[in-house]
Amino acid sequence: MTLMRGRRNYLAGVNAHFEAGIGTWVANSNATIAHAPGQGRPNMTPSFLTNAVALTSVASGNMSARHVGSPSSGINVNPGRTAHAEAWFKPDAVARSYQLSHAWYDASSVLISSPFGPSFAGSMTEWTLAYFDDVAPANAAFLHVRAFVLSTGGANEVHYVDDVSLSIPNLNCCVDEYYGWLWP
């Protein structure tokens, strides 16, 4: 379990753990997405968290999904605040590299920037954690997190994503991670 001390996970419930579906997640590029029962990251507490989201490539190249469909549906942000994103990835058959990106939008839903975090080499034997920190630009109003699988080999390559979090540090909170808050 990833604990982010003193941070609220803005992707609570189904948008973080995918137990009841894919929530507000949509395909972003070169992918289809679907609920993947039984493919969730193991060793979670509570133990009933067993599902993930599956990204399936349409063609070779990078594929991605994002957590909301429209810019104004993103997480409200304040300029100058740091946003932290994490996601766990697992391949179905071929290990690739994984990466996260923030998409920053202004109050008029115009894309300001979409910086990328580092890439993390995947493994066939265990889940891979990808993470990224970035500071909200001066006129940022909304934020989306995007999950990328890099350089797929062709159509129908499947990778799983689970336990996604998007947080803004320095928020005091005291509730359970599954329901969207973390113990300090």
- CATH code, domain carrying 122: 2.60.120.260
The residue range of the domain holding 64 is 8-176
Confidence bin at 181 (pLDDT 50/70/90): very low
**Domain contains 107:** yes
**Contact (Cβ atoms closer than 8 angstroms) between residue 87 and residue 147:** yes
Q: Compute and round to an integer the Cα radius of gyration of the chain.
A: 15
**Ramachandran region of residue 30, left (φ > 0), alpha (ψ -120 to 50) or beta?**
left
| Alpha carbons 53 and 22: distance in angstroms, whole number | 6
**Domain contains 2:** no
Instruction: State which of 14-18, 65-69, 107-111, 174-178 shows the largest mean pLDDT.
Output: 107-111
**Domain contains 181:** no
**Domain contains 54:** yes
Model pLDDT, residue 93: 95
Cβ atoms < 10 Å from Cβ of 46:
9
With a cut of 90, say whether residue 90 has pLDDT above it: yes
Per residue in 80-117, is it b (16+ CB within 10 Å) or e — as a string?
eeebbbbbbbbbeeeebbbbbbbbbbbeeeeeeeeeeb
Q: Which tens digit of pLDDT belongs to each residue from 101-152?
A: 999 999 999 999 999 999 999 999 999 999 999 999 999 999 999 999 999 9
For the chain, how many structural domains are there in total?
Answer: 1
**Domain contains 88:** yes
